[in-house]
Amino acid sequence: MANLQKKRSKMRKRFARVRVDLRLEVETETGSLHTRARNLSAKGVMFNSEGELVPGQQIHVLIYIPRGREVDLLKIKGEVIWVRREEDRSFIVGSTFTRFAPGDERRLRQYLLQHLRGEDPHRAPYFGREGKFD
């Protein structure tokens, strides 16, 4: 438990997070859920969940980033770091990214940089796909 708290505090200190409202799909061994990302960094995402996930659980995350009339789809493997139950009995989940599809880490960093610069990242050009996730 202490190691998990140290890991979380290091993540919070090292990477800028931006508030977002992006479509998100999270796939687990038992199924998938469609939700919204609440905040995003180069190393993780926080999202809402109706079902309970478990710290340490492996997930596949699909992040839908609007780019004008197109959508940039980022494919990422991750791990649930923490889960918090809300008053309405839903959950808020924090996860870290462990592996990106080719080119997706660069696309994510560009998106975040545009946010931090105060630019509208949704009006940026569509980057296209460089490869598929295996």
Q: How far apart are CA 47 and CA 87, in angstroms?
A: 16
CATH H-level superfamily of 2-116: predicted glycosyltransferase like domains (2.40.10.220)
The pLDDT, as a whole number, for residue 129 is 47
The pLDDT, as a whole number, for residue 127 is 46
Among 15-19, 39-43, 94-98, whose mean pLDDT is lowest? 15-19
pLDDT digits (tens, 9 = 90+) for 36-76: 999 999 999 999 998 889 999 999 999 999 887 888 899 99
**Domain spans, the chain:** 2-116
Q: Tell me the pTM.
A: 0.77
User: What is the secondary structure of 19-48 as a DSSP string?
Assistant: EEEEEEEEEETTEEEEEEEEEE-SSEEEEE
pLDDT digits (tens, 9 = 90+) for 75-85: 999 999 999 99
